[in-house]
Structures are given as structure tokens and as C-alpha cells.
Amino acid sequence: MAFVDQVKINVKAGNGGNGMVAFRREKFVPNGGPAGGDGGRGGNVVFVVDEGLRTLMDFRYQRKFKAKNGGNGAIKSMTGRGADDLIVQVPQGTTVINNETGAVVGDLVAPDDSVIVAHGGRGGRGNIHFASPKNPAPEIAENGEPGQEMEVRLELKVLADVGLVGFPSVGKSTLLSTVTSAKPKIAEYHFTTLVPNLGMVRLPDGQDFVMADLPGLIEGAAKGIGLGFQFLRHVERTRVILHVIDMSGVEGRDPYDDFEKINHELQAYDPDILKRPQIVVANKMDMPDAEENLTQFKADLDQDELLAEKPEIFAISTLTHQGLTPLLQRTAEVLAQTPKFPVKEAETVKTAEYDFQQKPDFTITRDTDGVWILSGDKLETLFKMTDINHDESLLRFARQMRGMGVDNALREKGAQNGDTVQIDDFSFEYMA
């Protein structure tokens, strides 16, 4: 199955059911009052972790998810049936992001995690709720509240305890295949690994952890060059980084220069990544010049004043299995001491403040024909919940607009008696 780790989909929660206008019509109740029932709640769209999924491939074929609407209210004050929630299964490690605002809706990392992505609308009230001494038989009922609708971006970040980073062809895939039962594609050319590969490392003492071989980096990866940008998203989840370096230098690259370049790309993407433990894996030590290059690498590392903490170095050869046991044992020890890194919420808070400041209750524009156009989420929701088939409901909506300040705003914009005002696809005549 192809590995897909980023998709955009549209979700639509169910609308609430409409309230009903009805009256009691019973033989021995001569003055029967209102008896219209409320509408039922619309279904939510809920994302739930399915541990059996490993990719977002299924979302390539289904891009729209819509929950059912609530049932309408009925006579004799009967409430409409609430709709069932729409359950959407996603892989563990999926982040749900509002594509319009960039706000994080949910981060599903635990096996039992779930999040309501779109809330269903509440049911509209029947006319039984609008009775009063002045109006004992109201012909007013609400339509159901519209369910939330949005485009969301799903990002899958592999859940690995340990991530292998490094330039292409340094031996990451070979290391993974040697210490786990994973079978990644291995070949003697760059970018053999195009998608993350995961494997389980099991030690003789009973310890185990998940290791991920992540696609190779090149310079400029943090800016989207090559495969690195796709790779960098996945390293965010890892708790320990194994920095694999080709110590043989057979491709003419300087090992310490490779080390600095990879760390530069990690820092450019997210400075916090370098705060997590990093172990240098000096690979291909079975090659002729590897020992000399390792000695020079350690000397360069000691002279580097920018590194606050020098990483541990383990010399290995995936071909001869030299040094693998000490490396894995030390990795397990560091992993046991390293907590999981919390999900960042700064972007969510910033976006929420932006929405609060930038979205007014209503806006007024005028088209080329001189028609005044009213828009805005709050105003449009109130209109959609208005039953335009009953005059009393329309009068109630007119009072709601006046209370929101729509009348005064139209007057200040220059609206005159007889001008046409439009909300959605409904038009009416403005009267000051």
C-alpha cells in the first residue's frame, strides 16, 4: 500500500431538525394550546484512532464526510430523533488542522484518542416554547441550527520512539533492517527510501522500542528542497535521534560537514528538535579510511564551541554487525529517561484570538445593482434558523436584526426606504 501522510478533506456535521408549529386538537380540550415539538440534534463528525491503519491512503478516494441531519419535531410536543455521530477512523499519530485558519483541531496520538471535528447543529424549538400571556397561540418555530462545515488538513506523523536521520545512502535503511524485522528497499543510489519505514527493536533484556528510518535530507530541506521537508514532519514525534554518518568518506563528503548540515536543517525547521537527545552513529567502520575519519570527527566535535552538549558517538558497521549491541542498549537507556514531547498549542491560541477579533456579527456591502448584501456567520445562522413560511417567525428575525444593530448600520451606510436588502437568497424591502 502506498504511504500517504498529508490530505485535505471536507467535513460537514448534520443540521439540527426543524421545530414544528402545531396545536392540540383533542375532543375535550376546547382551547388547545401550542404543541409543536423540537427538532433533534444533528450528528457530529468524530475522528477516532484505528490502530490498524498506517496511512491516509483511504482519504485519497473519499474526500467528503457528511453526518446525518436531526429529525424534525412533530405534533403533540414530540421531539425529533437525534442523528448518530459519523465516526471517521484515522491512523494513530494524525494531526487534524483547520485548513482555513491553521488552528490545530486535534492531535490523535494515543490508541483511544478521539476528537469532534465538526459539531452538529442543535434542533430548532417548536412553537410550544414561544407561548406567552400576550401570544398564547404563537405560529413561531425555529429551523434547526446548521452543522459546522470546514475543510481540514490531515497530517500523519509516524509514531516512532527513535528516528534515524542523515544524508542519503549513509546506511539508515540497512541499520533498520539489521536490528528489526523491517524490510525497507535498499539499493546503491540516493533516495532509495521515499517514505518512512518503521520497525520494532527488541533487546534480550525485554526492552523494546519503535525505530523509524526517515527519508534522507539534503541542504535546504527545511525550505522544501528535495524529500527533506516531508521527512522533517515525522521527526517531530521521535524522542531520541540517531544521527547516522558515513564515516568512510567514500563519496567525497566530510563526515563532520555532514553532521553540521543535518543539524542546521533540523534547527531551521524547528529549534526544539535539537533539544532532544541525539546519538551520533558512525557507520561503515569496516571501510579503510573510517578510523582516521572518526579520529578527525571527534577532534572537530571537541573544537565546536556552538554545541552546548557534545553527543555520544558509537562506531558501528551494519555490514559486519560491529558495535550494534552497545548502540541499541544505550539508545534504550536514553529513551527510558526521555519524556514524550508535548504538542504545541501556540498556533491554536493565536488563531483563536485572530478569529475573535476579525469576525464581526455581520457585514454590509452593496452590489452593482444597488442591492444591500448582508453577510456574517452569526447573522446567516439566525436567518437559516428562521422559518420564513410563518409571518411571526419573520417578525422575530426582524427584531433580532434590529437588536444586533443591522438597521442602524444600514442607515449609516445610506440605505433609503424602499431599497432592496438581501441575506443569502432571501430579499426584502428596507424600511427605516
Instruction: Tell me if the domain spanning 363-430 has CATH number 3.30.950.10.
Output: no
Question: How high is the pLDDT of residue 58?
Answer: 85
Q: Is 246 annotated as a binding residue?
A: no
Instruction: Show the beta-strand stretches assigned E in 133-214.
Output: 149-156, 162-165, 197-202, 208-213
Helices (H), 220-316: 228-235, 255-269, 290-303
Report CA dihedral (332, 336, 342, 343) to the nearest 10 degrees: 30
Q: Is 173 annotated as a binding residue?
A: yes
Q: Is 123 annotated as a binding residue?
A: no
Question: Is 146's pLDDT higher than 70?
Answer: yes
Angle at 344 between CA 258 and CA 357, to 5 degrees: 125
Could you tell me which of 181, 166, 189 has the C-alpha nearest to residue 211?
181
Question: How high is the pLDDT of residue 292?
Answer: 93
Q: Is 170 annotated as a binding residue?
A: yes
Q: Is 215 annotated as a binding residue?
A: yes
pLDDT digits (tens, 9 = 90+) for 332-360: 999 999 887 665 543 443 333 344 445 78
6-156: which CATH number, 3.30.1490.100, 2.70.210.12, 2.40.160.10, 2.60.40.10?
2.70.210.12
Instruction: Say which DSSP state 337 is in.
Output: H
Question: How high is the pLDDT of residue 182?
Answer: 52
Q: Is 285 annotated as a binding residue?
A: yes
Question: Is 193's pLDDT higher than 50?
Answer: no
Question: How high is the pLDDT of residue 82?
Answer: 95
Question: Is 20's pLDDT higher than 90?
Answer: yes
Q: Is 288 annotated as a binding residue?
A: no
Q: Is 193 annotated as a binding residue?
A: yes
Q: Is 172 annotated as a binding residue?
A: yes
Q: Is 242 annotated as a binding residue?
A: no
Question: How high is the pLDDT of residue 409?
Answer: 92
Question: How high is the pLDDT of residue 199?
Answer: 80
Q: Is the pTM of this model over 0.75?
A: no
pLDDT digits (tens, 9 = 90+) for 33-74: 899 999 999 999 999 999 888 788 889 889 999 999 999 999
Average pLDDT, the chain: 84
Residue 32, all three cell numbers = 388547545
Q: Is 167 annotated as a binding residue?
A: yes
Question: How high is the pLDDT of residue 379?
Answer: 92
The structural domains of the chain, with segments of one domain joined by +, span 6-156, 162-337, 363-430
Question: How high is the pLDDT of residue 345?
Answer: 46
Q: Which percentage of the chain shows pLDDT scores above 90?
A: 46
Contact 150, 14 (CB under 8 A): no
pLDDT digits (tens, 9 = 90+) for 298-326: 999 888 766 667 899 999 998 899 999 99
Q: Which residues contact 422 (CB under 8 A, 6 or more apart)?
A: 371, 372, 373, 374
Average pLDDT of 117-138?
Answer: 93
The yes-or-no answer to whether 6-156 and 363-430 have a common fold is no
Distances (CA, A) of 302 to 307, 312, 343: 9, 12, 34
Distances (CA, A) of 174 to 2, 50, 58, 179, 287: 21, 30, 30, 9, 16
Q: Is 169 annotated as a binding residue?
A: yes
- In this structure, of 35-44, 88-97, 140-149, 251-260, the range with the lowest mean pLDDT score is 251-260
Q: Is 50 annotated as a binding residue?
A: no
The domain covering 162-337 belongs, at the CATH homologous superfamily level, to P-loop containing nucleotide triphosphate hydrolases (3.40.50.300)
pLDDT digits (tens, 9 = 90+) for 252-298: 788 999 898 888 888 887 778 888 899 999 999 999 889 999 999 99
Q: Is 213 annotated as a binding residue?
A: yes
Q: Is 271 annotated as a binding residue?
A: no
Question: Is 93's pLDDT higher than 90?
Answer: no
Q: Is 319 annotated as a binding residue?
A: yes
Question: How high is the pLDDT of residue 323?
Answer: 93
Q: Is 318 annotated as a binding residue?
A: yes
Average pLDDT of 425-429?
Answer: 89
Average pLDDT of 426-431?
Answer: 88
Q: Is 283 annotated as a binding residue?
A: yes
pLDDT digits (tens, 9 = 90+) for 219-228: 544 444 444 4
